[in-house]
Structure 1
Amino acid sequence: MRLKVFDFFSGCGGTSRGFQNAGMQPVFALDFDAEAASTFQRNFPNVSFSQTDITKFDPAELGKFISENDVTLFCGCAPCQPFTRQNTQKPDSKNDSRRSLLSKFGEVVEYYTPDYVFVENVPGIQKVTGNSTLTRFKKRLENIGYQTVVNIVESQNYGVPQRRRRLVFLASRRGSIDLPSPTHGPDAGKPHNTVRRWIEHFPAIKAGEEHDKIPNHRAARLSELNLRRVKATPPEGTRADWPDELKLACHTKNGYSGHTDVYGRMKWDEPATGLTTRCISLSNGRYGHPEQDRAISVREAASLQTFPDEFEFLGSLNSQARQIGNAVPVLLAEVFGRHILEHMEKNSG
């Protein structure tokens, strides 16, 4: 019996691809973003897709995909921007309409009561004080019979070559459930995956170039000044290594020392720093290629999110970076998918 996956806020499909790799069957996905929808449909041609605002979605539409004896999983990785550290500090952050999306997903869950629920988000969603969105969602599911577990996980401990802290929430109607044990790191007895292992095989390109045979192996252009800066950055180096004439004025005033990773090069033999929606921009993090004079390409960013090389991204260059930065790392979803399937087998009586 295959477990059917219904992927809400699917984005480009990181969660669906990971669950598919684990042995599940994605059958339905929903997302409002047109370019992410195009990417998802290109890579999952046999999955029914709804390019819809979930607040306008009628849950009854899912009835045609669900039979009486099906085992089902609903995943809802809602947009995380309202809960990032930067945004939770803004005065109007509590009024961001995107905060209600998890509540709407809760309505869909309550309508169908799938066997399992999976949610991934930034850790900041847990830090909102009072009767928070996450707290209400958790209570809602427990009130209708789910057993839940929620915690912060380090993606590099599950094989992802990237230091990416995420909140993961699991709910089960088939008995108590926990989170899977780490697969990598000191406690697992297996070294973390590295940048080298996941991107060294891609051929060299220059800033502004796109490889003619490898989909999405395209690097953003650099201004002449930023090209000089990246050339002045040694392996594993940062902007601190530049000569004074290349330094930004905002980084030299009043003893400024913040954001030391911007303009930095990735380290070959360590996991990457966490990728954001601007992960191909040299000025937005440690996103410089370890040795080539450019930021990482879209393809390399996707690989650090553990997407397979044949997974194709559509849309503008900035949109592709946003899709990748927003995605659940494929390998993280795969580990959790295998864990859920093992739980299903143990509790199938």
Structure 2
Amino acid sequence: MNINAVDLFCGVGGLTHGLEQAGINVVAGIDIVASSKFAYEANNNSKFIEADLKKVSSKKIDSLFPKNTDIKVLAGCAPCQPFSSYSYRYKGSDASINKMDLLDYFAKFIVDIKPDIVSMENVPQLSKEPIFMKFVRTLKHHNYSVCWKLVYAPSYGVPQNRKRLVLLASKSADIHLIDPPFNKDNLPDVFSAIGQLPELKAGEIDPHDALHHAAKLSKKNLERIKQSKPGGTWKDWDSRLLLACHKKSTGNTYRSVYGRMEWHKPSPTITTQFYGYGNGRFGHPVQNRAISLREGALLQTFPLNYKFFDTNKNKLSIRTISTQIGNAVPVKLAYYIGKSILKAVND
């Protein structure tokens, strides 16, 4: 049986890579961000199409599927910033409003193209939004069997303490996300993901891997991380190192910033700013620095050899690459989504 997929809002290919690992051929990925093209095509057997999906016709997307396709899979993760807990307070911004209707465009493509299988992954907060329930109703109205749930990422092989919304829909049969392959006794942790990498100092780059690059720290932040304990808070510091916000009564709400990860627990959610020690609990468990770009990618379950920029042509941009990594669908979760699709097809 010839199964082919198109990945909408593909970014650097986290979803595509996981689907390919599961055994699903992805013929193309579409994204508006041109800088994602190198990583997407360098690591996946698929082509990258730079386009604004608000301006792409359903006919154009449908034409990407080979004529001998037996099962069409339309997959994607519409940009989730408007719905994420991290940026919820910015929902009224122009940037957020411009992305709020992307799920409606995804629904229109489904109605027009009539794929056999639909896969959608996003932040859990989306499940509380009217636009999501409208999406589900649209699928059911067009005779899709729909299953969606909030999943704990470590139970699907992702060493991050995060939840994700996963939706699967099928035209021909019931479809479900397969049972979690991990439980509380064998969850992946920070050590299993990044414990094997060479040591780095803040600001250093591994000569054998340009992505194993740690951001510089100011003198005061270096003092702070030296006094930080794995899993601890800024309360471990000398009083002279405290920020003004820590001295206010509301400072107790900032306990997750300027913290170290713990070796034998999942990491916090990898955001687009994980390279900064002060942006969350992104301090390395034992080394005096924030985690490197490569470590962030590994915690997102990208393979160790995943290429994010062309070392022969491009100068590494920490902010660009951290954004690409933080916005990606974790590869392991995508792999189990792919296995769930294949199970439904085979059954």
TM-score, normalised to structure 2's length? 0.93
Q: Trace 1:172-191 onto structure 2 (pairs within 5 A).
A: 172-186=170-184, 190-191=185-186
For 2:127, the aligned partner's letter is Q
Aligned AA (2:281) = R
Distance in 2, matches of 1:91 and 1:182, equals: 33
Which of 266, 270, 273 lines up with 1:275 in the alignment? Answer: 270
- Within the alignment, does 1:52 sit opposite 2:73 as a pair? no
Amino acid at match of 1:53: D
Bigger Cα displacement from structure 2, 306-315 vs 19-28: 306-315
**How far apart, in 2, do the equivalents of 1:36 and 1:281 lie?**
22
* Aligned residue number for residue 141 of structure 1: 139
Equivalent AA in structure 2 for residue 303 of structure 1 = L
Would you say the 8 A contact 1:2–1:24 is kept in 2? no
Matched, 1:211 2:206: yes
SS in 1 for 2:304: coil
Q: CA deviation at 1:83?
A: 0.6
Q: How does 1:149-228 map to 2 (within 5 A)?
A: 149-186=147-184, 190-228=185-223
Are 1:279 and 1:287, in contact at CA under 8 Å, matched by a contact in 2? yes
Residue 201 of structure 1: SS of its match in structure 2? Answer: coil
Q: Say if 1:215 and 1:312, in contact at 8 Å, map to a contact too.
A: no
User: Can you list the C-alpha shifts for 1:27-75, whole angstroms capped at 9, x where unaligned?
Assistant: 110011122233212222x412211100011222231533254212111
Identity of aligned residues (%): 38
2:111 match: secondary structure: helix
SS where residue 67 of structure 1 aligns? coil
Structure 2 unmatched runs, 5+: 310-315
Alignment of 1:335-346 (within 5 A): 335-346=336-347
1:1-349 matches, cutoff 5 A: 1-44=1-44, 46-62=45-61, 63-90=63-90, 92=92, 96-128=97-129, 132-186=130-184, 190-254=185-249, 256-314=251-309, 316-346=317-347
Deviations 1:208-235 (A, max 9, x none): 1111112410011111111111111134
Q: How many residues align?
A: 339
Counterpart contact for 1:160–1:332, Cα < 8 Å: yes
Please say if residues 176 and 344 of structure 2, whose CA atoms lie closer than 8 Å, have aligned partners that are also in contact: no
Pairwise CA RMSD: 1.7
Alignment-mate amino acid for residue 318 of structure 1: R
Q: Output the CA distance in 2 between the equivalents of 1:250 and 1:270.
A: 28
Assess if the C-alpha contact under 8 Å between 2:123 and 2:164 holds in 1. yes
Letter of the 1:335 partner, please give it. Answer: Y
Q: Give the whole-Å Cα distance in 1 for the aligned partners of 2:139 and 2:257.
A: 41
Deviations 1:294-344 (A, max 9, x none): 000000010011110010113521111111111111111111211110110
* 1:257-307 Cα distance to aligned partner (Å, 9 max, x none): 012111111100111111111111111111000001000000001001111
2:224–2:241 contact (8 Å) kept in structure 1: yes
- Classify the secondary structure of the residue corresponding to 1:110: helix
CA distance in 1, matches of 2:49, 2:268: 33
Going from structure 1 to structure 2, the CA distance change for 1:224 and 1:176 (only over 3 Å counts) comes to same
Measure, in 2, the Cα distance between the counterparts of 1:104 and 1:342. Answer: 28
Structure 1: where are the runs of 5+ without partners? none
User: Are the aligned partners of 1:87 and 1:93 in contact in 2 as well (CA < 8 Å)?
Assistant: no
Q: What amino acid sits opposite 1:56 in the alignment?
A: K
Kindly provide the amino acid, as one letter, of the partner of residue 80 in structure 1: C
- Separation of aligned partners in 2, 1:165 and 1:290: 22
Q: 1:219 touches 1:280 (CA, 8 Å); kept in 2?
A: yes
Residue aligned with 1:278, SS: coil
Separation (CA, whole Å) in 1 of partners of 2:201 and 2:270? 21
Aligned-partner SS, 1:191:
coil
